[in-house]
Chains A and B, each alone.
Chain A
Amino acid sequence: MTAAVRCDGIVQIYRTRELEVVALRDVDLVIDPGETVALLGPSGAGKSTLLWLMAGLLRPSAGRLRLNGSDVSRLSPRALDRMRAADIGVVLQNPSRNLIPYATPAQNVAFAQRAARPDRRRVAELLDRVGLGGNRHPHAGRMSGGEQQRLAVAVALANAPRLLLADEPTSQLDAASGEAVIDLIKETAVETSSTVVVVTHDPVVSEALGRTITIRDGRVGTEGRHGEDFVVIGREGAVQLPPEFHELLPPGTMARIEPLADGVVLRRAEPGDDGDETRRAGR
């Protein structure tokens, strides 16, 4: 089965006049079709960058990114546009950024369809689904934040995308509105078998999705499935300890690696400890 998203050693570097910023380093990630994934991580970790890469808005500085089997680096700008028009829906962080403020809800949804297949019936269906059906709604700019975000989801779904990407879709909503938006995304994923990737800080959102991926310092740190978190071994064998373990192994601590049959154990190495016991155990 072709993965919806496959990242192989993705590196993303932002260059400015003064300096270079490495936003992502050696990210390996596979997301299967129909998966719902929450991208977690602290601010500046590289979540949004990864999302923008998946949306085909950036090309990776190094590594390979495949979306539904297509190598993004090798796609022409026109092909990328076609891919975004046909297969990708994006919900940006700020609700108002997703919308043309002076257009009606229907016009906003239709605007997102215009690059692919205009479908008025789908526009009406989507608006009904997000509770914005009928012609009674004012221009998008005059709607409440919750309404705008629901409309943003409808806009992102306008082209029936195979990959729905959402950046903090609930960050500026109250709990009820946020819940409604997440339910909407989940329902859509189930109904259309879409793959969903949501960048969020909100535990409620991450718990609602099937898989969590935590990005730290530009790397995939941990993954969570069915309520359990796993660290991910990086390309050079690097492991990022989740913050809750920093108390046991604070940054800068020396540790011993103790091999086991199905893996290794990390133990803090105390000053003066020569490590013979460990070495023996290793033999």
Chain B
Amino acid sequence: MRGWGLTLRGLWERRTLSLIVLVVALVPVATASVGPIFAESAGTEIVRTTLAESTPDERGWRFTAPHSGVPAQAARFAAGGSFLHPPIKGMELLSPEATSLTKYPLMWQDGQCEHVTLLVGRCPAAAGEIMVSRAAGFPLGHRVRVTGVIERPKPDGKSRPAPLQVVGVYHAPNPGDPFWFGRNLFAQSAGFTEGNGDPLFTVPATRESTVVNGATWTDAATVVIDATRITAADLPRLAELDASAQQLANADTETIVFSGLAGPLGELRSQTASLGVPALLVIAQLVGLGWLLLFLTVSDLVTARGPEIALARLRGHGRLRVWRFGLAEPLVLLAVALPAGLALGLALASAMAGALLTVAVPVTVTGQSVLAGAAVLLGGVVAAGLAARNVAVRPVTEEWRRTPRRTARGWIIDAVILAVTGLGLAELLTTGIITENSGQQAGALAVPGLLAVAAALLSCRFLPSLARRLFGPTRRAGGIGVFLALRQIARGPATAGSLIVLGTAFGLATFATAAWSVTSANFERVARIHNGADAVLITRTESVADFRKAVERADPSGVRAAPVLVLPGPPKMLATDPARFAHVANWDRPAASLTGRLGADVAPRVTLTGDRFRLRIHPVEIPKYWEVRMFADLRVPGEATVKSIPLGAPDRAMLEWGLPPACRTAPCELRGLRGDVSYLSGADMDEHPLLAIEATEVATRSGGRWRAIDAGLTDPDRWRGTGSAGADGLTLDMAAFTATKMIPATYPEELPALVNSLTGNDFTPGLDQAYLVRQAPVPVGPAVPGLDVPGGVVDLELADRVAFAIHPKAEFQVWVAPGHLAAVRDGLLAQGLPVYEPRLMSGLVARYSSQGPGLALMLLLMAAIAAAVLALGRAVLALYSAARQRGYELAALEAAGARTPALRSALLLEQLIILCAGMLAGVTSGVVAAWAALPRIPEFVVPPITPPLLYEPSLPLLAAVTGGALLAALVAAAVTAEILLRGVRPDRLRGAPG
């Protein structure tokens, strides 16, 4: 305890220096540890947001089997991860309703009543009770009978469908609710009535009180990941669980496991893996810089203890005891700096997480952060060890010498660092790749540190030499102030340490500032284009018309939301409402004028509703041995491709055929009339008669009555193809060896598209990705909102007219202008549409910032600026100490007649020259590093194809940082010079220098 007491007293005795060491140790520990801490939180955020943005089936597993063992299996599975919700048990049976034969799932899912909105009645509670959807149309009290569930056999042996009494009516829930695991259970409510009804919710007792008839109860259990609890550290376990779920399914042939987790899991792996390398490189540089600062400062502390260590040796203390005595104070400070630095790092990381992360995630000290902090302190320990060794090994009597011997600084270390820097820079410039094996050029992040150290080393060699050369001129004409300043700089020792620290720290700070200004601008630029709008909602409707209507209802103003149907590419296609797009999309260009170029004058659609189609024509005489057939091409709801109906030979006035069943309830669209010719054997191939088939009326039959359709057969502007429209009707010219086709001109022959690059593809993909129509590209530059790959923006209405269906991969996005997200979202939800978590532009920027490269650069900025401030403080302190040691010299000069202003200018000049030289070296190396390395340093996990990234740092920001630093240096130099001058008095010469 006595030894500790002495150590603590010693620290208090040297409290200023101790405090400086503590700060110099604490700040690098904090800046080095904040990276791993924040990276862990950022990783957790990535995991949570990725899962939150995934569809419900991508957030868990659904186990089903025709036996009751499933819940137990799922329970065991769910116990394997603390981030999993308990299994949601369930059972269901699919069976037709006895009268309508519509198939209803009779089902129970534990907790079902909390996940639907009860409109009337109550939740089922007893056997034989059910809850139905409003769309099902069963009234309260009605007894529904499904054929698959029958009453237990009566004594008479007859079995009848069990009556299921309706006790409640619910409103179909949001299918995005993970409770439903993304299953398309509520098709009836969504408007699809073909054969499937909404679930009839019951209770398990119904199963026990009935028997099945030609159907099977399926037991199910859903295990959902708790996206609010899972962390980045759980990712390996999550992968193991997913693999084990598949193994479970393989082992039990009756158990089926549904899960779409593999997709998000792969994405998560690539994203979290990207956090490592760049952050490590930056942390390594920070650790290096921390070492440099700590080395110098801790050495100062140990040197300050020189007399006491010498005393210990004088008193015969053994080597071990002397080392312990010498190292006690710095080690105590470093030991305190570790937890304090980690606490500061935790606080900084928490602040960063609060500012940058879009969801609240836990911020905790991680093992890596402790390692990073300890690595920084290792520099201090090494410094303490070396300094203590110097003091402990050199002759004790040296401590009492009045003029310590000078030791020359070697060239070897300088030469090695310069050589490594030169090689690194040469490799960077010639090949563009610094050796590394994880993709992109993360190794380029090492260049700024190397350059900064090299520039600092060169400057600390160059400046004393320059000062020596300037002796002559200043001696003759510069006055004593300049001469004294230059002489002191030329002496070297204090100059070298300060220049190295300042040059390195300011080099990194300048580079970090430049890198951050470039990167944050690029993040903003890319996020604006990739997200397309301030906020993007994802929903789903059955048709483009429904989609447009839904958006119009959600935003009647027409300026707050835009429907955007996205077809993944490349080439990627966005189909949108141009007017709305112009208001909502992130586009610096005059969007309205560009989107105005997407429109085209087109004919109205020819829609058909009914059960039969008829085409009235002027019959033609068909040449002998010709077989001529007419067809009508239709776009039918629910069909992925064109549906052709045969109309027979044009030798009759009325050509009729039944319409597809879907056209009875929903409008189909007439997309063409065509005819083709087959030759029968015996035909005279040399005869080439021309048939002109004139169509005069299109009609459909509905409810037994024929109704003529306005098909514009006499309007030349409404049809195009191998024929013509005129006063007599639509003429299809049919010649030998040619087919004939006329299509309604409901879309232009070339679809206008605002493209970000000419892909070389003449055809636009179309909503059905069928590449049916040529595009008329309107190049508008490399950056088009919403396009992260080559592609184009087209008019949604025109695109819909071209297509026969909507491709399954099409994404229904609703782009929202700033400030209107909640209103638009509520508007869509009110229409019963599924709406997933919004994708925000700010969220995308935050995502980029928290991914590996962005995080690394942000850490570099934060730590480099902190290091620069420390370096400036350390340099000023070193200069102050050096000048103070020359107090007698200055006093002698004053006694010899040197005036105070001259001494003041000498001190001020000396400090200013050194501080400015260090900063200049640093700023120069930082700018050079920015120029050389920025285009090569990864800013994104996946480099964006578009928009092009820019690499011009913000000059005002750089100027502000440099100017601020120079101002700080000026103030520090002026204050230090003044303090020093107050201590310079000739009466000091009377005392012995000690």
* Residues in B whose Cβ lies below 8 Å from that of A77: 319
Interface set, chain A 145-172, CB cutoff 8 A to B: 155, 158-159
State whether B405 touches A57 (Cβ < 8 A): no
* Residues in A whose Cβ lies below 8 Å from that of B321: 114-115
State whether B308 touches A55 (Cβ < 8 A): no
1/0 contact string of A80-94 vs chain B (CB within 8 Å): 011111101010101
| Residue ID in chain A nearest B403 by CB atoms | A16
State whether A57 touches B396 (Cβ < 8 A): yes
State whether A115 touches B397 (Cβ < 8 A): no
| Residue ID in chain A nearest B406 by CB atoms | A17
| Residue ID in chain B nearest A86 by CB atoms | B316
Q: A57-B314, A81-B316 are in contact. Are A102 and B396 (CB under 8 A)?
A: no
* Residues in B whose Cβ lies below 8 Å from that of A57: 314, 395-397
1/0 contact string of A45-89 vs chain B (CB within 8 Å): 000000010010110000000000000000001100111111010
1/0 contact string of B293-336 vs chain A (CB within 8 Å): 00000000000000110011111111101000000000000000
Q: A58-B395, A92-B400 are in contact. Are A16 and B315 (CB under 8 A)?
A: no
Smallest beta-carbon distance B397→chain A, Å: 5
A98 at the interface (CB under 8 A from B): yes
* Residues in B whose Cβ lies below 8 Å from that of A84: 314-316
Cα distance A55–B311 in the bound complex, in angstroms: 13
State whether A58 touches B397 (Cβ < 8 A): yes
Smallest beta-carbon distance A73→chain B, Å: 15
Residue in A52, A83, A116 whose beta carbon sits within 8 Å of that of B397 in the complex: A52
Listed stretches A31-39, A104-112, A238-246; interface member:
A104-112
B155 at the interface (CB under 8 A from A): no
A100 at the interface (CB under 8 A from B): yes
Count chain B residues whose beta carbon lies closer than 8 angstroms to a beta carbon of A: 26
Smallest beta-carbon distance A224→chain B, Å: 27
Q: A100-B308, A110-B2 are in contact. Are A78 and B314 (CB under 8 A)?
A: no
State whether A81 touches B317 (Cβ < 8 A): yes
State whether A115 touches B9 (Cβ < 8 A): no
A133 at the interface (CB under 8 A from B): no
A269 at the interface (CB under 8 A from B): no
| Residue ID in chain B nearest A112 by CB atoms | B315
Smallest beta-carbon distance A70→chain B, Å: 14
A266 at the interface (CB under 8 A from B): no
Q: A78-B318, A81-B318, A85-B315 are in contact. Are A102 and B9 (CB under 8 A)?
A: yes
B834 at the interface (CB under 8 A from A): no
Cα distance A160–B957 in the bound complex, in angstroms: 69
A268 at the interface (CB under 8 A from B): no
A233 at the interface (CB under 8 A from B): no
Cα distance A114–B322 in the bound complex, in angstroms: 11
Q: A57-B396, A102-B10 are in contact. Are A88 and B316 (CB under 8 A)?
A: yes
* Residues in A whose Cβ lies below 8 Å from that of B405: 16-17
Cα distance A139–B12 in the bound complex, in angstroms: 13
B13 at the interface (CB under 8 A from A): yes
Q: A57-B396, A58-B397, A107-B6 are in contact. Are A116 and B316 (CB under 8 A)?
A: yes
* Residues in A whose Cβ lies below 8 Å from that of B901: none
Residue in B2, B311, B316 whose beta carbon sits within 8 Å of that of A85 in the complex: B316
State whether B2 touches A107 (Cβ < 8 A): yes
State whether A81 touches B313 (Cβ < 8 A): yes
A254 at the interface (CB under 8 A from B): no
Smallest beta-carbon distance A234→chain B, Å: 25
* Residues in B whose Cβ lies below 8 Å from that of A88: 316
* Residues in B whose Cβ lies below 8 Å from that of A114: 315, 317, 321
> Which residue, A78, A88, A110, A114, has most C-beta atoms of chain B within 10 A?
A114
Q: A101-B13, A102-B12, A102-B13 are in contact. Are A115 and B395 (CB under 8 A)?
A: no
State whether B314 touches A90 (Cβ < 8 A): yes
Cα distance A112–B312 in the bound complex, in angstroms: 8
B994 at the interface (CB under 8 A from A): yes
A97 at the interface (CB under 8 A from B): yes
Residue in A58, A102, A103, A111 whose beta carbon sits within 8 Å of that of B315 in the complex: A111
* Residues in A whose Cβ lies below 8 Å from that of B406: 17
* Residues in A whose Cβ lies below 8 Å from that of B314: 55, 57, 84, 90, 92
Residue in B6, B318, B400, B994 whose beta carbon sits within 8 Å of that of A115 in the complex: B318
Residue in A16, A82, A98 whose beta carbon sits within 8 Å of that of B316 in the complex: A82
Smallest beta-carbon distance B325→chain A, Å: 9
Interface set, chain B 773-804, CB cutoff 8 A to A: none
State whether B311 touches A100 (Cβ < 8 A): yes
Smallest beta-carbon distance A212→chain B, Å: 24
* Residues in A whose Cβ lies below 8 Å from that of B312: 111, 115
1/0 contact string of B250-263 vs chain A (CB within 8 Å): 00000000000000
* Residues in B whose Cβ lies below 8 Å from that of A78: 318-319
Cα distance A101–B408 in the bound complex, in angstroms: 33
State whether A115 touches B396 (Cβ < 8 A): no
Smallest beta-carbon distance B395→chain A, Å: 7
State whether B9 touches A81 (Cβ < 8 A): no
* Residues in A whose Cβ lies below 8 Å from that of B10: 100, 102
Smallest beta-carbon distance B704→chain A, Å: 113
Cα distance A83–B312 in the bound complex, in angstroms: 14
1/0 contact string of B1-19 vs chain A (CB within 8 Å): 0100010011011000000
Smallest beta-carbon distance B7→chain A, Å: 10
Cα distance A84–B13 in the bound complex, in angstroms: 28
Smallest beta-carbon distance B390→chain A, Å: 16
Cα distance A141–B395 in the bound complex, in angstroms: 25
| Residue ID in chain A nearest B307 by CB atoms | A97
Cα distance A141–B9 in the bound complex, in angstroms: 12
Smallest beta-carbon distance A22→chain B, Å: 16
Cα distance A81–B307 in the bound complex, in angstroms: 17
Residue in B12, B316, B400 whose beta carbon sits within 8 Å of that of A97 in the complex: B400
Smallest beta-carbon distance A119→chain B, Å: 14
> Which residue, B307, B311, B994, has most C-beta atoms of chain A within 10 A?
B311
* Residues in A whose Cβ lies below 8 Å from that of B408: 17
Smallest beta-carbon distance B311→chain A, Å: 7
| Residue ID in chain A nearest B408 by CB atoms | A17
| Residue ID in chain B nearest A88 by CB atoms | B316
1/0 contact string of B330-374 vs chain A (CB within 8 Å): 000000000000000000000000000000000000000000000
* Residues in B whose Cβ lies below 8 Å from that of A116: 316
1/0 contact string of B396-429 vs chain A (CB within 8 Å): 1100100001101000000000000000000000
Cα distance A114–B3 in the bound complex, in angstroms: 10
| Residue ID in chain B nearest A84 by CB atoms | B316
Residue in B6, B313, B395 whose beta carbon sits within 8 Å of that of A100 in the complex: B6
* Residues in A whose Cβ lies below 8 Å from that of B316: 81-86, 88, 115-116, 159
* Residues in B whose Cβ lies below 8 Å from that of A103: 6, 9
| Residue ID in chain A nearest B318 by CB atoms | A81
1/0 contact string of B488-511 vs chain A (CB within 8 Å): 000000000000000000000000
Smallest beta-carbon distance A262→chain B, Å: 42
* Residues in A whose Cβ lies below 8 Å from that of B396: 57
Cα distance A198–B406 in the bound complex, in angstroms: 31
Smallest beta-carbon distance A167→chain B, Å: 10
Q: A57-B397, A58-B397, A103-B6 are in contact. Are A98 and B318 (CB under 8 A)?
A: no
Smallest beta-carbon distance B454→chain A, Å: 29
Cα distance A82–B318 in the bound complex, in angstroms: 7
Cα distance A88–B317 in the bound complex, in angstroms: 12
* Residues in A whose Cβ lies below 8 Å from that of B397: 52, 57-58
Cα distance A84–B310 in the bound complex, in angstroms: 13
* Residues in A whose Cβ lies below 8 Å from that of B6: 100, 102-103, 107, 111
1/0 contact string of A119-151 vs chain B (CB within 8 Å): 000000000000000000001010000000000
Q: Which 7 A-B pairs have the closest CB atoms?
A: A85-B316, A84-B316, A102-B13, A115-B316, A115-B317, A112-B315, A102-B9
Contacts A17-B406, A102-B10, A107-B2 aside, 12 further interface pairs with beta carbons under 8 A come to A77-B319, A81-B313, A82-B316, A85-B317, A90-B314, A98-B311, A100-B10, A100-B311, A102-B9, A107-B6, A111-B312, A115-B315
Supply 8 A–B pairs (Cβ within 8 Å), ascending by A: A17-B405, A58-B397, A82-B318, A99-B311, A100-B6, A111-B312, A139-B9, A141-B13
